Amino acid sequence: MTILSLLPILIILIIVIIAAKSMKKTANNQVRSMSVKWVRRIFGAYISLLLICTLVVPFINGNGWDDLKKAPVKDLEKEGIALVNAAAAGKIDSIDRKFIEKKWDFDFREQKLTVGSKNNEFISTQIFVERKKTNDQKIEAVSYKTRSSVNDLDVTQLTNPIRLKLAANTLTINNPKKAVLEFNTFNHVFSVSQFTGEPTLFAHHSSFSKGQSILYLRIPKDLKLINKPDVNIQFVE
């Protein structure tokens, strides 16, 4: 316990003093206090406000979350690992098609392909490359993404796909457009959470699980691939 941890107590003390001063005044015979009638009106109005809000809450509760499905973190981790393992082992077809986020097909007649990011930014998506058996002059790109969750709710649909652009011998990869998600969550007051075993007194618990995303490229057999250091490419045997 440091002196700093006394600060909340000090703040409370200051509030106490200010509040007590304002209340004490009314006890003093010199100062007019609010009439019984007005106190009743104000208190009545306050109670009405509380009751109206109580009636409104069931309608707004969980609003916007209705279309989000439950997604336990435990399942998500398994999915992510399974995806990477499958991709690395060349068994990407065994992955459920629901994880396919986006597909691209490019015609490509050149001998060399440079893979890089736009402004040399780091690409967090892992890239797997599989050489096809033939030189069909086509590049297939598939982006896979497992589910992401916030507090066990599936937010995958709120995230954006990776961006690809093929031009002049260069495949430019861009990170997805950043999805900015803001959530408000309502916790029990400490006098309830104390007895329900939830985190209490300004302690909070949240989970955020970011899904695994990979880009799977299928390239012609003899295409020469040059990768810039900002992308991480793993060849599939």
* Residue 32 token pair: 């007019």
Question: How many CA atoms lie less than 13 Å away from 23 in the CB half-sphere?
Answer: 6
133 touches other proteins (CB under 8 A): no
29 touches other proteins (CB under 8 A): yes
57 touches other proteins (CB under 8 A): yes
> What is the sign, positive or negative, of the torsion defined by CA atoms of 163, 184, 211, 155?
negative
- Scanning residues 143 to 162, which ones bind other proteins (CB under 8 A)? 148, 150-151, 153, 155, 159-160, 162
- Scanning residues 209 to 228, which ones bind other proteins (CB under 8 A)? 210, 213
Burial (0-12, 13-18, 19+ Cβ within 10 Å), 127: buried
Please, which residue, 26 or 232, has the CB nearer to other proteins?
26
Q: What angle do CA 119, 177, 94 make, to 5 degrees?
A: 100
Build a one-symbol-per-residue string for 102-121: x at contacts with other proteins by CB under 8 A, - elsewhere: -------------------x
CB 133 within 8 A of CB 219: no
CB of 40 to other proteins, least distance (A): 7
67 touches other proteins (CB under 8 A): no
72 touches other proteins (CB under 8 A): no
46 touches other proteins (CB under 8 A): yes
State residue 39 phi and psi, 5-degree precision.
-60, -40
63 touches other proteins (CB under 8 A): yes
